[in-house]
Structure 1
Amino acid sequence: MRKPASIQRIKPGLPAVVVTAALMLTVTACSPAGNASPSDPSGSPATAGTGVPALEANPAAVELLPASIKASKVLRVAIPTNEPPTQFYREGTQEMTGTNPDVARLIGEALGVKVEIQVANFDSIIPGLAANRYDMTVSSMTPTTKRMEVLDFVDYMQIGTAIAVPKGNPGGIKDQHALCGRKVGLLTGSYQLTVDVPGYDKECAAAGKEGIQRSEFQDTRQAISALTSGRLDTVLADSPILNYAATQNPQIEVAATYEFAPVGVGVPKESGLVKSVSKALDAVIRSGSYAKVLGKYGLESSAITDARVNFAQ
């Protein structure tokens, strides 16, 4: 979600398969992201109905699995919700779909284990991993130095940050340098809130300007509602989510998209999972299944070629 040069911007058009997520925003509106929901038991070896291409188990990755996972043959994966196209409920079901659940399922296939999706608020995921409620997270989480104190990360996709504004951009916000004194909506626990905005505030102070007025939300739907009702000037969040939201909501537009960089699968340091997950992701990224999953949601340009381990952004 942060830097490397020569990375293409995410394509604005999304395939029809994702359009059903527009209804999902209204369906899930009565169910906050943090509400407990039934686990999604889909995964390796049975991914029927999930739309995830089949992928053979990678023997080297399987061999590196911790004994507990080898015995249970289950990988508990924490993922937020209400954020199409990265994660959302399939219409009329409690089954999670989107790039993050599908990548998690590909990792499960490569490891020869069943993936159980556990829905959680983003800011509760790291504490949940520490408490052994989950084995892994695939949640568009940016590897930062602070997060790497407790988690190991393996890169799996690249995304950017986007700035959403009311249609017509009445506030004239063209980039992140125009946020001083503005009312900005941010997702709780996000990279934008914890890393970007503190940096922007320093720039504002250095220029003798008022700092950013922050408002936190558990999901982007809530933040966009505040934006369209006039309570916010802008929303700052992951680019796939805001780009998609702008295609579904005629009241908003994306004013800027910037700072693309990889996000990573997170596993607790003491779990011993990082070696097997790294080997599995190497196999996933080299497979045709990886490109098919990203293409399914219009995120082909989010593909990476190297599953780097613990590369802080």
Structure 2
Amino acid sequence: MTHRAKLPFIAAGLLLATLAGTTLHAQEFDLSPAQAGRVHAQPNPEAIALLSPDFQWAKPDTLTVAVSVGEPPLAAFADDSTTIIGADPDVALLIGEALGKKVELVSVAWADWPLGVVSGKYDAVISNVTVTEERKERLDFSTYRKDVLGWYVKSDSPITQIKEPKDIAGLKVITGAGTNQEKILLEWDRQNVAAGLAPVEVQYYDDSAAAQLAIQSGRADAQFNPNSSLAYASAVNGGTKLVGTLSGGWPVNADIAVTTRKDAGIAAAITAAINGLIKDGTYGEALKRWNLSAESIDVSATNPPGLPRT
């Protein structure tokens, strides 16, 4: 888990624009509870037919989905401080519509969702959960996004591409303490130093606005964190650009998936629903709406290989 922002990204964008004294080309996102621009799906008979008649729904005729609410674009509270909005809620609602069910989104703490799913309190979790071999022992997965980390720099930075360790030699890089991206960054730095290249200066910030300001002021050269939040921030404040992505499971690929209890009889239906949404384009529209097209997948899979045990 990465550190949560203490300021909403829209506020951060306005702060950066003011402090930097520049005109930033910002993209507006709908944070209203109405969500008028949200895309919708039609019932998918093939997916519905895969639902086990023995599946015990948390609530009748309803797909109850747990969401760990943090910040846009994945999941946040709307302007009314009550309605859950974001890319993951949009995916949840599309899947529910494809399965012919109402959808109830429930805000839960990250630490609480595993027990809630296994006990049947929630039918599914759609909250940026990565597939791992350890989790597959108790849970089923239907993939819906790539686990992507992003390299972001100031929009006018001379850095145009980061794709391998030597590209960050000598740079000042912001990342999250105690995260997988920090482990990757430190390993890249270790390889550089072993090869005689300049070391990285690693920087940590608890506040997203402070991290963005460090990039704008030149105190940091790049930020390496989950692509979703950085892509949203880039669109909102216009002051940063994407110069590279990396799988969150580097050196192997990692997938984000809808999570359900093991052998409950619903995973195959959810996978089929997602594949139908991919085919008809509504899935792509939902991710594009939150500037997450870089994390889209071509096909959903049930229980693919997960990150190995550490």
1:153 aligns with 2:146: no
**Are the structure 2 counterparts of residues 143 and 107 from structure 1 closer, same or farther at C-alpha, using a change threshold of 3 Å?**
same
Question: Secondary structure at the residue paired with 1:75?
Answer: strand
Bigger radius of gyration among the two: 2
Match of 1:76 in 2: 65
Is residue 112 of structure 1 aligned with residue 100 of structure 2?
A: yes
- Separation of aligned partners in 2, 1:110 and 1:233: 44
For residues 271-286 of structure 1, what are the structure 2 equivalents within 5 Å?
Answer: 271-286=264-279
Contact 1:64-1:275 at 8 Å conserved across structures: no
Match of 1:140 among 128, 137, 153: 128
Which residue of the partner structure matches residue 290 of structure 1? 283
1:3 is matched with which residue?
A: none
Single out whichever of 221-230 and 69-78 deviates more from structure 2: 221-230
Do 1:24 and 1:91's aligned partners in 2 also have CA atoms closer than 8 Å? no
Which amino acid in 2 is paired with 1:224? Answer: Q
Residue 31 (structure 1) aligns with: none
Note if 1:304 corresponds to 2:304. no
SS of residue in 2 equivalent to 1:186 = coil
Q: Report if the CA contact (8 A) 2:88-2:126 is conserved.
A: yes
**1:35 alignment counterpart:** none
Could you say which residue in structure 2 is the equivalent of 1:94?
82
Report Cα offsets for 1:207-261 as digits up to 9, x if no partner: 47768747475x8556535655777654222334323312333554434334486
Please give the per-residue CA displacement for 1:260-280, whole angstroms capped at 9, x wherever unaligned.
864322223365542332233
The one-letter amino acid of 1:308's match is A
Question: Residues 78 and 118 of structure 1 are in contact (CA less than 8 Å); yes or no, is this contact kept in structure 2?
Answer: yes
Partner of residue 53 from structure 1, selected from 33, 40, 61: 40
- What is the CA distance between 1:154 and its match in structure 2? 1.3
Please name the residue that 2:176 is paired with.
186
Query: Alpha-carbon deviation of 1:160?
Result: 3.1
Residue 188 of structure 2 aligns with an amino acid whose one-letter code is Y
What is the DSSP-based 3-state SS (H/G/I as helix, E as strand, rest coil) of the residue aligned with 1:116? strand
Distance in 1, matches of 2:273 and 2:64, equals: 13
The superposition leaves residues 54-91 of structure 1 with CA deviations (integer Å, 9 ceiling, x where unpaired) of 3215331344562234746341222433132x333444
Equivalence for 1:266: 259
243-252 vs 63-72, greater mean Cα deviation: 63-72
Unaligned runs of 5+ in 1: 1-20, 28-41
Mapped to 2, the partners of 1:182 and 1:154 lie a distance apart of: 37
Answer yes or no: is the 8 Å Cα contact 2:143–2:300 preserved in 1: yes
Distance 1:168 1:292, change over 3 A: closer
Residue 66, structure 1, aligned to residue 55, structure 2: yes
Q: Structure 1 CA distance, aligned partners of 2:161 and 2:284?
A: 34
Q: Secondary structure at the match of 1:264?
A: strand
Q: Work out the CA distance in 1 between the residues paired with 2:147 and 2:286.
A: 15
- The alpha-carbon distance between structure 1 residues 53 and 94, as it changes in their structure 2 partners (threshold 3 A), is same
Conserved in 2, the CA contact under 8 Å of 1:82 and 1:220? no
The residue type equivalent to 2:175 in the other structure is G
> Could you tell me how far apart the structure 2 residues matched to 1:180 and 1:129 are?
45
Task: Name the amino acid aligned to 1:196.
Answer: I
1:105 CA displacement: 0.6
Unpaired stretches in structure 2, ≥5 consecutive residues? 1-7, 15-32, 248-252
Give yes or no for contact 1:239–1:257 (8 Å, CA) kept in 2: yes
Percent identity (aligned): 23
